[in-house]
Amino acid sequence: MVFKSRQLLDYFHHLRDKFSICTQGEMDILPFIIQNSDALQDTLLVAGLHYTLATGDIRTYDSTVLFHKVETIRSINKRLETPRSTGFTTLVRRIATLCLVECSFGNMATAETHFEGLLSILDLHLQDGKLDTPMDFNEELTSRYLVLTYNIIHTVRSRMQERDLLSKTYGRSKPTNLEEYVTLLLS
């Protein structure tokens, strides 16, 4: 793994153990995550986001998260080049995860661009006549994840607009950097 990916994965594993509700008889999911490059990249993105929001420190894993965002985009684009490829729900979840990460880091334009692309992909998929067939378990989870993603993007956008309005009303300046923005967003 490049950059500080290993440390970020260790951070995720420690979090999972700390907040785990698993019983002792359940399996550890880490080996499965490591074997699937898509799942590993998404896990590292979310772990980097969690670390940043929990500590307010964006610099520690900044280059690692950026690397995995770029690799995720590259992987998504490669999958989009081969129409009718398998793993449609995985593709949708990966784009939704990218949207959530970008949105949570305050990159609203990028998050909304990814989400609009995701909606275009869904429109194309639905034109294939999938509307009248019942959804399987993965499709249902993916649909719920999309609704959650949309709601989070909308909520963060509204919160940012509210902050801007309050800043203008009370004469406060806008945050000068992302760390300050994240702190304000969480307050």
Domain ranges, residue 111: 5-186
Burial of 51 from C-beta contacts in 10 A (0-12 / 13-18 / 19+): buried
Q: How many domains would you assign to the chain?
A: 1
Residue 161 burial (CB count, 10 A): 11
Confidence (pTM): 0.75
Q: What is the pLDDT of residues 103-158, one digit of tens each?
A: 888 888 898 899 888 888 888 777 766 556 677 788 888 888 888 888 888 888 88
Give the HSE-up count for residue 37: Cα atoms under 13 Å, Cβ half-sphere: 8
